[in-house]
Amino acid sequence: MNEELWNECVRFHGHACPGLAMGFRASEVAAETLGVPLEKVRDEEIVCVVENDACGIDAVQAIYSCTAGKGNLLFRITGKQAYSFFDRRSGKKVRVLIDGDFGEMCREDLMKHILTAPEEEVVKVKTPVFDIPETAKIFYSVRCESCGELAREDKVRWQDGKQVCLDCFRDYSRNYF
């Protein structure tokens, strides 16, 4: 385990915890599987699709510089501790699922176990069921004709002959099935 990188993740997140350890361990496994160095990456070549909105995501951000703003950190919330990593350069991909039998360990022991136990006791390595997400796009902004606020063009809808944002849009559906 790279202690220096772990400490950097702890500084970024604000404290050490089992959730952060899950993201750290997932990043370690991804680095090994993809053949990508486990170090800070400063570009958008690594993309991570996370299936949760928990602490482990901060490890991915700290290590691989994946961020929602750059479009290389995407959320597909399933409630699972799963992380799908894609290497844009090589086209390789891996889904790392934290899926160990952790029993009744105290918080500190659980964190240490996640970080140091043999891989087969902590994770399952799979192939993502989806392809690498396309690169982030830059969209035009459109002024909502109802509230006057700017919204991304793909999030604007036509209603009553006006372009309106999603906040102002009133959905209409007669489909009750």
Full domain range(s) for residue 145: 137-177
Are 29 and 108 in a shared domain?
A: yes
Over its C-alpha atoms, the chain yields an Rg (Å, rounded) of 20
Neighbours of 89 (CB within 10 A): 11
pLDDT at 74: 94
Are 30 and 116 in a shared domain?
A: yes
Residues 100, 117 contacting (CB under 8 angstroms): yes
Are 100 and 16 in a shared domain?
A: yes
Please indicate, yes or no, if residue 76 is contained in any of the structural domains.
yes
- The predicted-structure confidence for 75-108, as pLDDT tens digits, reads as follows 999 999 999 999 988 899 999 999 977 888 899 9
Please indicate, yes or no, if residue 26 is contained in any of the structural domains.
yes
Are 104 and 145 in a shared domain?
A: no
Are 108 and 169 in a shared domain?
A: no
Q: How do the residues of the chain divide into helix, strand and coil, expressed in percent and rounded to 5?
A: 30, 20, 50
Integer Cα distance of 82 and 62 in angstroms: 17
Q: How confident is the model at residue 39 (pLDDT cuts 50, 70, 90)?
A: low
Are 103 and 151 in a shared domain?
A: no
What does pTM read for this prediction?
0.80
Picking from 85, 100, 126, the residue at the C-terminal end of a domain is: 126
Which residue type occupies 146? S
Integer Cα distance of 156 and 85 in angstroms: 31
19 SS3 class: helix
- The predicted-structure confidence for 105-150, as pLDDT tens digits, reads as follows 899 999 999 999 999 999 999 999 888 877 778 889 999 999 999 9
Q: What is the DSSP letter of 93?
A: E
Q: What secondary structure does DSSP assign to 153-164, as a single string?
A: GGGEEEETTEEE
Please indicate, yes or no, if residue 132 is contained in any of the structural domains.
no
- Structure tokens that stand for 28 in this block: 């370690």
**Helices in 14-81 by DSSP H: which ranges?**
18-34, 56-64
Please indicate, yes or no, if residue 122 is contained in any of the structural domains.
yes
Q: How confident is the model at residue 155 (pLDDT cuts 50, 70, 90)?
A: very high
Are 13 and 71 in a shared domain?
A: yes
Which residue type occupies 165? C
Please indicate, yes or no, if residue 91 is contained in any of the structural domains.
yes
Residues 63, 9 contacting (CB under 8 angstroms): yes
Which residue type occupies 45? E
pLDDT at 42: 61
Which residue type occupies 167? D
